[in-house]
Amino acid sequence: MGHHKHLQIGLECIRRNQDLRRTTTHQQRTPTQKSSRKHHPITKPAEMAPRHHRDVPDNKLNSWFPNTQSPVIISAPMLGAANGALAAAVSKAGGLGFIPGGLDFAPGSAQLAALADELTTARRLFGLADRTLTPLPVGVGFILSHASLVHFEETAIPLLQDHSPQAVWLFAPHPEHVVSGLVGRIVAALKNSGFIVVFQVGNVASARRAALDGADIIVAQGADAGGHQFAGGAGIVSLVPEVVSMLEREFAGRGIVVAAAGGIVDGRGVAAALALGAEAVVMGTRFLIAPEASTAEFQRKLVIETEDGGPSTSKSSVHDDLHGVRANWPSPYDGRAIIGEPWRDHLKGVPLEENIKKNQEAKAAGDVTRLVTWAGTGVGLVKDAIPAGDTVREVREAAQQRIRHLQTLF
């Protein structure tokens, strides 16, 4: 689709949020409805951003997630930073917040136990603690690279059914689990349980694979993103249009939604992503300094102080080697982080074993300067530590204003 059409789509997003108010009816699912949670209204109007409608139908995201306002802003399920409070704040403001579920799916997993606690927190913040059958308007994100993925259906899915988040985000399957069909079976099991399935990808081939496996939403993550991603990737300027074109050509009629991720931290980035063909955006780095996030204080300070995000961050699998997590990230993946002393030592030629020892000694001594801070190239624009809900509203309104301005150029 041409850029004129995508600008019109962006303008339509604005119009949806300016029209007549809609009174949302709310209903509670009965136990027999437990596996049909996709399209149920979700919570009390007082707890949510106001929803509006006009005679034209909403896009799929608004239908799946009735609390959302366009353009839809999604908070990434950042392990170690995102949590139930952050996700709830994002969703209450008309976005879609995600809680990280980790990568350990073994019976008795501490990560799954922590996820249950965060989902309970989110439900309490929505005022739904006594309405356990009402779908919770947040999502959950999982990393699929761990060998314990074989237990997903016996451990993770029952937990999700108990807590009823609306969507499940999947990322980084080990190649052998893709080939074996395990990932496809997990997607099918999630969809059979009524969840919207989100799949994070970093190239056209992985987007195609996700579509074949049944993904409802594909997050096209560009190389500017912070944290873990595909090692061989492109920026969203070329990635998003090619993914969108592939889906239109090969999966016509499926209506798979594309969300753009990577380097987006403000309304300008959102407007650009919409023009590229995305229907929503994902932000991670911008939410690192939100007061609701679990980000450590030294990391918040580092994010705010960092400028010129390109040369101030580095994208490499060496980060995982230096911090002892390489086993969790097979060869297709690497990560982008703010440059710190371990990376500088690596560039100076300090042997890996010696570098790791220095990291361990510093950590034992309480020195945080050698710990990794994952962040994208947009970090230089992240300066205001405001509540997550305010961030969502500010970015959405700025995107709308940018789209209106673009309309005056034609």
Q: 356-406: per-residue pLDDT in tens?
A: 999 999 999 999 989 999 999 999 999 999 999 999 999 999 999 999 999
* Averaged pLDDT, 301-317: 96
In a domain, 93, yes or no: yes
**Other beta carbons less than 10 A from residue 329's beta carbon:** 21
Between helices 152-163 and 182-192, what is the axis angle to 10°?
A: 20
Judge whether residue 265 has pLDDT over 80: yes
Q: Is residue 182 domain-resident?
A: yes
Q: What is the pLDDT of residues 139-179, one digit of tens each?
A: 999 999 999 999 999 999 999 999 999 999 999 999 999 99
Instruction: Decide if 147 is inside a domain.
Output: yes
Is the confidence at residue 219, as pLDDT, over 80?
A: yes
Q: What confidence category does residue 24 fall into, taking pLDDT thresholds of 50, 70 and 90?
A: very low
Residue 40's pLDDT is: 39
CA distances from 310 to 182, 218, 223, 240, 375 (A): 37, 25, 11, 20, 11
Tokens 């997903």 correspond to 152
- Is pLDDT of 6 > 70? no
Q: What is the pLDDT of residue 240?
A: 98
Residue 255 has pLDDT above 80, yes or no: yes
Does a structural domain hold residue 172? Answer: yes
Q: Is 257 inside any structural domain?
A: yes
Residues designated as active site = 228
Q: What confidence score (pLDDT) does residue 41 get?
A: 36
Whole-angstrom distance, CA of residue 292 vs CA of residue 289: 8
Q: What is the per-residue pLDDT for 133?
A: 85
- Output the pLDDT for position 115: 98
Phi, psi of 7 (to 5 degrees): -65, -35
For residue 339, being part of any structural domain is answered with no
Whether 356 is covered by a domain: the verdict is no
Q: What is the SS3 assignment for 327?
A: helix
Does residue 227 surpass a pLDDT of 90? yes
Domain that holds residue 119: 3-291+387-407
Is the pTM higher than 0.85? The answer reads yes
- Count the domains in the chain: 1
Report whether pLDDT(225) > 70: yes
Identify the CATH number of the domain in which residue 71 sits: 3.20.20.70
Q: Is the pLDDT of residue 2 over 90?
A: no
Residue 1 reports pLDDT greater than 50: no
Q: What is the pLDDT of residue 371?
A: 93
Q: Is there a domain that residue 131 lies in?
A: yes
- Reported as a single tens digit per residue, the pLDDT across 40-73 is 333 333 355 544 433 334 579 999 999 999 999 9
CB 203 within 8 A of CB 234: yes
Q: What is the pLDDT of residue 4?
A: 52
pLDDT of 7: 53
- C-alpha separations of 203 from 129, 158, 200, 334 in Å: 40, 31, 10, 14
